[in-house]
Amino acid sequence: MKSWWLSNSFQLWLALSLSGCLSVLVIVPVSAQVKSDTQPLLVQSSTPQITPATEIVPITGVKANPTDKGVEIILETTAGTQLQVTNRSAGNNFIVDVSGGQLRLPSGNTYTFGSEKPLAGITQITVTNIDASTVRVTVVGVAAIPTVELFDDDAGLVFAVASTATATSPQQPPQTPQANQPLNQTQPKPSTSDEPIELVVTGEQDTYQATDGSTATKTDTPLRDIPQSIQVIPTQVLQDQQARNLAEAVRNVPGVAQGDNSPTRGSFEIPLIRGFDSRGDIQRNGLRDTTYEFQGFDTAGLERVEVLKGPASVLYGQGSLGGVINYVTKQPLSEPYAAVEASAGSFNFYRGAIDLSGPLNPSKTVLYRLNLAGQTTESFLDFYDQQRYFVAPVVSWQISDRTKVAFSGEYQVRPQKFGQIGIPAEGSVLPNPNGTIPRDRNISEPYATIDTSALRFGYDLEHRFSSNWQLRNAFGFSSFQRYKVWVYSTALEDDERTLDRNYQAGRDDLRSYNVDTYVVGKFATGSIRHQLVTGVNFTKFTNDVNNTFRPIAALDLFDPVYGSQPGPITRRAESFSSSDALGIYVQDQVTLADNLKLVLGGRFDTFSEKDEDRLNNTEETFSDDAFSPRVGLVYQPIPAISLYANYSRSFTPNTGTAFDGSTFQPERGTSYEVGIKGDIGNRLSATLAYYDLTRSNVLTTDPQNPDYSIQTGEQGSKGVELSLAGEILPGWNIITGYAYTDATITKDNDLPVGNLLNNVPKHRFNLWTKYEIQSGGFKGFGFGLGLFYVGERQGDLENTFTLPSYFLTEAAIFYKRDRLRAAVNFKNLFDVDYFDSALNRRNLFYGDPFTVQGTISWEF
């Protein structure tokens, strides 16, 4: 381990000490025309242009103005000279790629621009992000390639667009520039005509469509080039729905269900992805963080949520077969920004949040962002209340034109009453001769509490050796503390109304360390292009637990009397566990042709774990290793369609020993997936996927030695998922999906083969859509509608009871005007009684009833 740390320190020193400039070759087709008031922005030359590398330049707005020749598109930015521009043609399309920039509002949200039929001979103009650092301007002509002229202006980059018919006249035929000569450098910018032109613009607003993500490949890769299903929930969806926890966020993703607890009252957030528990596979900015299972997240610091389906062990090490969830947090902005938000709602819900960002020095090389939030709420559940306080600072430093580092922190405190323990199946989903247990029944005690806090901090260092090679070194630390006084159920007596209980008090202390160092390089072997990712990842997790157990009086579920005090201590538990893992991984994204892409990857992990029983003074250790491959292929018969296939494997360590004393091998997961991704126009994207997953080496009872286990168990999941997200018409956005999931036990010595995995619905449907009025006296008003269906689920692996299906309706009314936004959200509009999930036959968790939440925010 010592040698590893020395190696990592050397890489960090190397990244900080190297500096230089970025070489870029810009080649412009002779059909392009470029103009500038001051200096040429594009020059056709056989000599490479040397341009210093810079941070991503925000393009804060797009405007369309009519001219005497057509229309001009203005990309508003104060740093236009830092952008690199290349253009090409494809059919009747004139395409310009602006490298080094991103369409991003002062709030940090991304957006798109579109103009339908702005003038004769032009079908469409679109401006959109194609990845995290490239903006594409596309001008579509009707019968010929349009004429596009580029200007460098104080307002930003200006594209003057004219159809072939309006740009060319018999008296002045177009001139073809000669090679190695500047292109129209001295002509003045055309004057604006007073003649109006009809434009339909969708710029400067957020969209539900996501075009790229980094979770699947650790590179900014367009989603259509990834041979795996991945859904991105942008911040606009979270804001429109007023999502308050992970469960409310990922319900927008088909194939994700709620695991064996209820997050609506502040308990564990347990996502099931494609039928498998993924609570330990939650990441923050690409680094795995196990503390999120217990503490959750706050939307105040969240930019978006990325959900990668299927195994991710090739890049991230041990983890679930179902997939990973990555929280992408808000980053500093180069322009001053401030926003405040206040909310109030049902059950005494009150919340306030502040978002501040901007530069800390005149040169804007040091930026900051600070998010603050405070929240208090009660619940439909008896004597339950919760508070939450959140602060998340980020400071980024552009050390040089090649090196950048960002330091981030997050602190969250959540004191609350212990009110999420659930009720028995008898009297809720099963008949009970005593009647139905009320939905608001709390089987705990009013004095029971669970106070938690989480601290997270880390850094992210990036260094560019050249335009094609980059180093990233990221570190994340998190700690989670929990102090609890619990009263929980142990059995329901024969009268089916008396619930036996137990009392537990104690402390948990979890800590997580994650260091990831990798290189991203682009190169070519002949006509084949490569994007290589190779690195080393070290993780360490510790868990220190101290508990005491006491008896406490039983509770009458139908006539409860609270106030019982616990008896003497009957049992103590003090344990400490520690796990370490070191992984080496390689991934190559190979472009065999423009429409044929291959992803190859492999990772080797070595890991160990130590478990200590401090009361009995015993210790158990084990170690093992695993190899995780991935192969994926993407074929694009046309640019808008991607056909893909993927094979990958995962692993999860097993603890304990068999009867003969041998340690257990890791659980293995195998995934096969095929699918199709399509772009419907420029603003709507869809994914259809079919998968077949197998989880093997599952522990089950040894039939020869019933007190021990053997690894002959197996589980499988097959399914189909369909998702659609984006803008249907200007102002009309949608995010929707359907999932069919058949998750079953395929081998086991205890449970019947064919049993369904618990809490996994076979059918699940989600739809959220909103419309914002674009013009007229009601401009800025909007409406949202949500429909969520969850089918029947088994409450336990024995399949002894079933959670009924449910259908929820939500609605929203909002108004946006300049920097003001006000909204009212209605959740569970028809007050449906439903169950989130079940832990076992004694613990079923009701979902929230009808609630109303009003929010108002203001940007400065």
- pLDDT tens across 470-481, in order? 999 999 999 999
Strands (E), 415-468: 449-464
Cα distance between residue 150 and residue 72, in whole Å: 9
Query: Is pLDDT of 48 > 70?
Result: no
pLDDT of residue 11: 39
Q: Phi/psi zone of residue 70: left (φ > 0), alpha (ψ -120 to 50 degrees), beta?
A: left
Strand order in the sheet with 282-284: 230-234, 302-309, 323-329, 282-284, 287-288
Residue that has been written with the tokens 């659930």 in this structure = 422
pLDDT of residue 103: 84
How much is the average pLDDT of 690-696?
96
**What CATH code is carried by the domain that includes residue 68?**
2.60.40.3500
Q: Categorize the per-residue pLDDT at 341 as very low, low, confident or very high, splitting at 50, 70 and 90.
A: very high
Q: Is 234 within a domain? A: no
pLDDT of residue 109: 63
Q: Is 246 within a domain? A: no
Q: Categorize the per-residue pLDDT at 1 as very low, low, confident or very high, splitting at 50, 70 and 90.
A: very low
CB atoms inside a 10 Å sphere around CB 387: 15
Query: Is pLDDT of 837 > 60?
Result: yes
Range of the domain at 62: 2-167
Q: By CB neighbour count within 10 A (0-12 exposed, 13-18 middle, 19+ buried), where does 194 fall?
A: exposed
How much is the average pLDDT of 818-828?
94
Phi then psi dihedrals of residue 300, to 5 deg:
-60, -30
Q: Is 195 within a domain? A: no
List pLDDT tens digits, range 788-798. Answer: 999 999 999 99
Query: Is pLDDT of 393 > 90?
Result: yes
Amino acid 83 reads L
For residue 43 the two structure tokens come to: 């020059």
For residue 247, give the 3-state DSSP assignment: helix
CA distances from 199 to 122, 140, 804 (A): 12, 15, 50
Query: Is pLDDT of 688 > 60?
Result: yes
**What CATH code is carried by the domain that includes residue 590?**
2.40.170.20
Q: Categorize the per-residue pLDDT at 99 as very low, low, confident or very high, splitting at 50, 70 and 90.
A: confident
pLDDT of residue 429: 94
Q: Is 196 within a domain? A: no
Cα distance between residue 852 and residue 827, in whole Å: 6
For residue 311 the two structure tokens come to: 């195994």
Cα distance between residue 231 and residue 209, in whole Å: 10
Q: Categorize the per-residue pLDDT at 421 as very low, low, confident or very high, splitting at 50, 70 and 90.
A: confident
pLDDT of residue 194: 37
Q: Is 314 within a domain? A: no
Residue at which a domain ends, from 125, 146, 167: 167
Phi then psi dihedrals of residue 515, to 5 deg:
-125, 130
pLDDT of residue 265: 52
Query: Is pLDDT of 220 > 90?
Result: no
Highest mean pLDDT among 120-124, 261-265, 540-544: 540-544
Rg over CA atoms, the chain: 29
* Number of domain units in the chain: 2
Q: Categorize the per-residue pLDDT at 749 as very low, low, confident or very high, splitting at 50, 70 and 90.
A: very high
Cα distance between residue 697 and residue 711, in whole Å: 5
How much is the average pLDDT of 595-616?
93
How much is the average pLDDT of 96-104?
83
Residue 336: which H helix or E strand, with range? none
Asked whether 106 and 358 are in contact (CB, 8 A), the reply is no
Task: Tell me what the pLDDT averaged over the chain comes to.
Answer: 83
Cα distance between residue 554 and residue 491, in whole Å: 10
pLDDT of residue 100: 83
Residue at which a domain ends, from 167, 201, 235: 167
pLDDT of residue 834: 94
Q: Is 216 within a domain? A: no
Query: Is pLDDT of 699 > 80?
Result: yes
Measuring CA to CA, which residue among 132, 601, 481 is closest to residue 328?
132
pLDDT of residue 267: 53
Q: What is the dihedral of CA 481, 484, 488, 490, to 10 degrees?
A: 70
pLDDT of residue 171: 35
User: Could you tell me the pTM of the whole model?
Assistant: 0.79
Residue 699 vs residue 81, higher pLDDT: 699
pLDDT of residue 113: 77
Query: Is pLDDT of 190 > 50?
Result: no
How much is the average pLDDT of 132-136?
80
Q: Is 117 within a domain? A: yes
Measuring CA to CA, which residue among 127, 35, 138, 43 is closest to residue 96?
138
Residue 20 vs residue 351, higher pLDDT: 351
pLDDT of residue 786: 97
Q: Is 521 within a domain? A: yes
Highest mean pLDDT among 146-150, 623-627, 738-742, 773-777: 738-742
Phi then psi dihedrals of residue 137, to 5 deg:
-105, 120
Residue at which a domain ends, from 127, 144, 167: 167
